[in-house]
Amino acid sequence: MRNIGCGEVARGSGFAISDHVFVTNRHVIGGAALLQVSTYDGHDIDVTATGAVVIADLALVWTKQPLPATIPLATENPVVGANVTAVGFPLGGPLTTTHGRVLKYAPDPVGWSSLPMLVNDAPIEHGSSGSPLINDAGQLVGVAYAGEGNSYYAVPVEVLRQVLTNPNNYSRSAACGGVL
């Protein structure tokens, strides 16, 4: 995902949850004059609309062309100690995967959400914001968005499911820095 706006080009990762819906972070799309989605296989996909989530650092992006692959959502948040894998494209570079475990659920370090966020130790790098955090079954359990020391934060899948079932939880835009 490339965001051209706010006086710079920002990059982040993301993933498809259906043929035309891509998930990333609110701070990745913030202030976009132009959003560009490039798939893992090198194709560029046109964006038709975006929605910045009000209750967490999430954003939904709707695409004109179908996305090549989707990730199924887990039915519930993983338990503490569960294995997780972060998959992303830091700084727009090659695909990386890192492995770790769920450490705990804790307050949002960014302060955008009052809901508990998933804390894990699968390292993410700058540009990995929006990366999917998956379980051993290949299901989405979280959306990576921040790191602090050896702890990395993800929006839990149950929060994403809440957003998908209640459209009042998102807006159609985000200002620079992801602030609504």
Q: Of 153, 158, 54, 57, nearest to 105 (Cα)?
A: 153
Other Cβ atoms closer than 10 A to 112: 21
Structure confidence at residue 127 (pLDDT): 76
Looking at the chain, the number of H-run helices and the number of E-run strands are 2, 15
Structure confidence at residue 73 (pLDDT): 97
| Pair 122, 133: CB distance under 8 Å | yes
- Cα–Cα distance for residue pair 156/106, rounded to 1 Å: 11
- Write down all domains in the chain, each with its CATH number in brackets: 2-70+166-178 (2.40.10), 83-161 (2.40.10.10)
Q: Dump the DSSP string for 140-162.
A: EEEEEEEEETTEEEEEEHHHHHH
Kindly report the backbone phi and psi dihedral angles of residue 49, in degrees, each rounded to the nearest multiple of 5, phi listed first.
-165, 160
pLDDT < 70: residue spans in the chain? 1-8, 10, 33, 167-180
Q: pLDDT tens digit string along 65-105?
A: 888 889 999 999 999 999 999 998 777 777 889 999 999 99
Structure confidence at residue 169 (pLDDT): 64
| Pair 51, 89: CB distance under 8 Å | no
Other Cβ atoms closer than 10 A to 101: 13
Structure confidence at residue 179 (pLDDT): 57
